Amino acid sequence: MKRLEWRNYKRFQWLTALAMVALLFGAFMQRVTRLSVESERVAADQSVVTINTLLIQVVVKHAVHGKLNELHAYADTNPMRLVEAQLGVVPANYAGEMHRAQIEQVSRGTWFFDLESRELVYGYINRPAQLRLRLAVNFSDNDANDIFDPGTDRVTGLHLQRSTIEGRIPKT
C-alpha cells in the first residue's frame, strides 16, 4: 500500500510542476504579445518622427529661398515623395500609391499612400488597426477663417497630421 501512495504523491508533484510551468509560460506569452504590439506602435511612431524631421528640412529649404507660401502645394500630397526627394530612397516597407481596390493586397506592416483619402497609411501587424496620416500645412490664419488664403495668410511649416489612429481596415 505504501508503494501506491508514494507513486500517487510523485504523480501529484509532477502534475503540479507541469501546471506551474504552463501558467508561467502563458503569462510569459501574454507579456511577449503585449510587448510586440507596443514595439510595433513605437516603430510606426518613430517613422512619423523621421518623416516630420525631413519635412522640417523641406520647410527650411523653402524658407532660405523665400518661398514658404509654395509649401501650400504640398497639402494632402504623398509625404513619401518628399522623403524620396530628400533621401533618394523610400523605406523598404513602403508599397507605393494605391487605389481602394489595391489596398486589400497590401500586407500588414507596410506603409502605403491611399489615393482616394489622400492619406499615408500603416496597417499594424498585431492588431486590426491602421495609422492614417495626412500631410498638412501650418499657416498663420490672419483672417481667422481656418482656410489658407494666399493673399492674407502665411505658410509656416509642414507636418504629418494623424487623421485616424485606430479602426478596421476598410473593405471594398
Give 117: exposed, middle or buried? Use CB within 10 Å, 0-12, 13-18, 19+.
Answer: middle
Q: What is the pLDDT of residue 166?
A: 55
Q: What is the pLDDT of residue 104?
A: 81
- pLDDT interval class at 62 (50, 70, 90): confident
Distances (CA, A) of 80 to 11, 131, 152: 62, 15, 30
pLDDT single digits (tens) 35-44: 888 888 888 8
At 21, which amino acid appears? Answer: V
Q: What is the pLDDT of residue 13?
A: 87
Distance CA 40, CA 124 (A): 7
Q: What is the pLDDT of residue 31?
A: 86
Q: Where are the domains of the chain?
A: 42-164
| Cα angle for residues 64, 69, 75 (degrees, 5° grid) | 115
Distance CA 38, CA 125 (A): 11
Q: What is the pLDDT of residue 165?
A: 60
pLDDT of 167 > 80? The answer is no
pLDDT single digits (tens) 72-107: 888 889 999 988 888 888 888 899 999 888 888 888
Q: Which of 55-59, 113-117, 153-157 has the lowest mean pLDDT?
A: 153-157
Task: Decide: 99 and 41 in contact? Cβ < 8 Å.
Answer: no
pLDDT single digits (tens) 129-153: 889 999 988 887 777 777 776 777 7
* Of 1 and 74, more confident: 74
Q: What is the pLDDT of residue 171?
A: 43
